[in-house]
Amino acid sequence: MTKIVRTDAELEVPRVDRALRDTGATLVLLPCTADAHALAFELRDTDLLLTCYADISSTTIEGASRLRGIVKYGVGIDAIDIVAARARRIPVVNVPEYAEETVAEGAVALMLALARKLKPLQREMQERGWAWPTSRWLASDLAGKTLGLVGVGRIGTSVARMAGQGFRMQVLGFDPYVDRDAMARAGVSRCDDLEAMLQQCDIVSMHAVLTPQTEHLIGAREIAAMKPGATLVNVSRGALVDEAALVNALHRGHLGGAALDVFSDEPLARSNHPLASLHAMDNVILSPHLTFYTAEAMRRLEDETLERCFEMLEGRPVLVKSRDPRLRAQENGVRFVD
């Protein structure tokens, strides 16, 4: 009998689970808290793995003797050892397009929330019932501000459209993999030097892919280069930013604020966590990695996840839509969008 394992069961995808069970397969759901030993044990006789956040290591992959494919029901693949999967001729696929507009909307919402001081205002309304227009509550417009995008792929391009056409912001972009003409078509002025771009920005928004080369792309030096009072928004991956340097800059008052939906160490906690002190800061908004989580995006995610699963279960080449070179380097059991 076919066996399927889905990790991160807390992320509910009921149509996926139901459709896979309807094939007659045994579906095993593992929680986010499942350790590497439990995952490796279940994968020993598994045919198909669906994963979102779990760490899929080379050791885990090497012990999965029956594994026919890995479906990341989401975008980022940094937790999967793609090299180990390729060595075993196990195709890996993600679902890169389901939440592009959704996450872009989330990034803009966080920019607005920071600019309008919604976190402390909401607390003031809850505690006192009203807030008078004193200097404490003086907010900022987005219109006329300069936005810097670190990464100008699908989501970054959507943010550029919303910010430029919607709020009349000047949009700058740093992305070595996107040429000047492509950025110009998206309404973005390309910058070749990251630090030089950061010096000009009122808001910096992170949209790069996490790789060994982009880890801590925004470090202490880059944060120091940012304008005093500038804000940082990260809806991509926590490790793109040196979080210790970010915390230091926020506590020193160099930055005007930050809005973070992603963290190197998830889940976040109010104590015993490197970022715990940010909970108490009025100019910091913390979101639990949910900018992707809308009804519309989840329908798209479930639809495409099932398409990829059935391709693998039926022995057909699986469709890879991602442009990520790690996935594009695969040669076995895959086909690519042109």
- pLDDT digits over 70-98, tens only? 999 999 999 999 999 999 999 999 999 99
Catalytic residue among 221, 266, 296, 316: 266
| 237 catalytic per annotation | yes
Q: For residue 12, indicate whether it is catalytic.
A: no
Q: Are residues 123 and 259 in the same domain?
A: yes
Residue 221 a catalytic site member: no
Is 159 found in the same domain as 14? no
Average pLDDT, the chain: 97
Per-residue pLDDT of 126-160, as tens digits, reads 999 999 999 999 999 999 999 999 999 999 999 99
**Do 131 and 188 fall within a single domain?**
yes
CA distances from 285 to 77, 109, 170, 190 (A): 26, 11, 24, 28
Q: Is 297:55 a contact under the CB 8 Å cutoff?
A: no
Query: 176 pLDDT band (50/70/90 cuts)?
Result: very high
Asked whether residue 338 carries a pLDDT value surpassing 90, the answer given is no
Same domain for 312 and 270: no
d(CA 335, CA 312): 12
pLDDT in tens, 202-261: 999 999 999 999 999 999 999 999 999 999 999 999 999 999 999 999 999 999 999 999
pTM score of the predicted model: 0.92
Average pLDDT, stretch 304-325? 97
What is the extent of the structural domain holding 42? 3-98+295-336
Q: Output the pLDDT for position 267.
A: 92
**DSSP assignment letter at 326:** H
Percent of the chain scored above 70 by pLDDT? Answer: 100
Q: Say whether both 55 and 114 belong to one domain.
A: no
Q: From the CB of residue 59, how many other CB atoms can be counted at a distance below 10 Å?
A: 12
Q: Are residues 126 and 268 in the same domain?
A: yes
Q: Which residue has the higher pLDDT, 279 or 337?
A: 279
| Same domain? 211 vs 243 | yes
* pLDDT interval class at 316 (50, 70, 90): very high
| Catalytic residue (choose from 6, 190, 237, 308) | 237
Choose, from 161, 216, 289, 300, the residue flagged as catalytic.
289
pLDDT at residue 195 tops 90: yes
In the chain, how many domains are there? 2
Same domain, 265 and 124: yes
Q: What is the pLDDT averaged over residues 163-192?
A: 98
CATH of residue 164: 3.40.50.720
Report how far residue 308's alpha carbon sits from residue 275's, in angstroms, rounded to the nearest whole number. 37
Residue 231 near residue 259, CB atoms below 8 Å:
yes
SS (H, E, C) 134-202: CHHHCCCCCCCCEEEEECCCHHHHHHHHHHHHHHCCEEEEECCCCCHHHHHHCCCEECCCHHHHHCCCC
pLDDT (average), residues 32-52: 95
Mean pLDDT of 259-283: 96
Q: Are residues 150 and 213 in the same domain?
A: yes
Short-list 176, 230, 186, CA closest to 208:
176
**Residues 213, 181 share a domain:** yes
200 and 254, same structural domain? yes
Do residue 209 and residue 308 come from a single domain?
no
Beta-carbon count within 10 A of 16 CB: 21
Q: Measured between alpha carbons, how far is residue 109 from residues 59, 104, 285, 294 in Å?
A: 40, 9, 11, 14
H or E stretch at 51: strand 48-51
